[in-house]
């Protein structure tokens, strides 16, 4: 235990020191007071800060509206994180679409080369049909995801209305991803129909 105590003191992990000393039975009462100083005071300061902020936000009015409450700021932070997550989905779907488009284009060129050379295009047609079936399977997956996301959005809207938050943006991740999936599905369907 002494080695752990020395390590904590030398590396600046002073938060661990009172816990280690309690484990060593070194003045437990004094260590509890030290823990309250290290953890309790900052926690109390945060509670006071957020309480004052919440109170002030109901009283302060500006030319652009009211001061946002801590809860509203937190909900907007979650919405921003959801948007970032949804943007990753969008990039993945775009990459899948671009790869699909490139592969189908290459297959079409290969088929035309075989045709121009007077060779059979049966193998190229079979390869293209298999690839289109794979793309159609992805379109079917997108259909299922759209249905799931629509259900999640509807449930979130009902919950928001029941809580009196109908004017707030609900299910931001699901809403954004639903749009991306819908766009991806229509793009892929269009690509399949052209090939």
Percentage of the chain modeled with pLDDT above 70: 96
Pair of tokens at residue 119: 């060779």
Is pLDDT at 170 greater than 70 in this prediction? Answer: no
Q: What is the pTM of this model?
A: 0.57
Measured between alpha carbons, how far is 104 from 68 in angstroms, rounded to an integer? 51
pLDDT digits (tens, 9 = 90+) for 35-89: 888 889 999 999 999 999 999 988 888 787 788 889 888 888 888 888 888 888 8
Distance of CA 34 to the CA centre of its chain: 39
Residues 6+ apart with CB under 8 A from 132: 104, 192, 195
Please, which residues bridge with residue 66 across strands? Answer: 61
Burial 146-157, CB ≥16 within 10 A → b, else e: beebeebbeebe
């Amino acid at each position: 235990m002494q080695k752990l105590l020395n390590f904590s003191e030398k590396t600046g992990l002073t938060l661990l020191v009172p816990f280690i000393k309690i484990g060593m039975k070194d003045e437990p009462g004094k260590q509890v007071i030290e823990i309250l100083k290290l953890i309790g005071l900052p926690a109390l300061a945060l509670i006071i800060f957020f309480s004052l902020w919440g109170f002030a936000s109901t009283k302060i009015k500006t030319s652009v509206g009211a001061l946002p409450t801590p809860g509203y700021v937190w909900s907007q932070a979650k919405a921003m994180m959801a948007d970032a997550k949804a943007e990753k989905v969008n990039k993945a779907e775009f990459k899948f679409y671009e790869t699909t488009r490139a592969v189908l284009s290459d297959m079409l060129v290969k088929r035309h080369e075989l045709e121009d050379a007077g060779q059979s295009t049966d193998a190229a047609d079979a390869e293209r049909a298999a690839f289109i079936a794979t793309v159609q399977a992805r379109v079917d997956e997108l259909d299922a995801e759209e249905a799931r996301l629509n259900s999640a959005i509807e449930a979130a809207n009902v919950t928001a209305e029941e809580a009196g938050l109908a004017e707030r943006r609900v299910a931001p991740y699901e809403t954004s991803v639903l749009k991306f999936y819908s766009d991806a599905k229509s793009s892929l369907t269009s690509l399949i129909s052209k090939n």
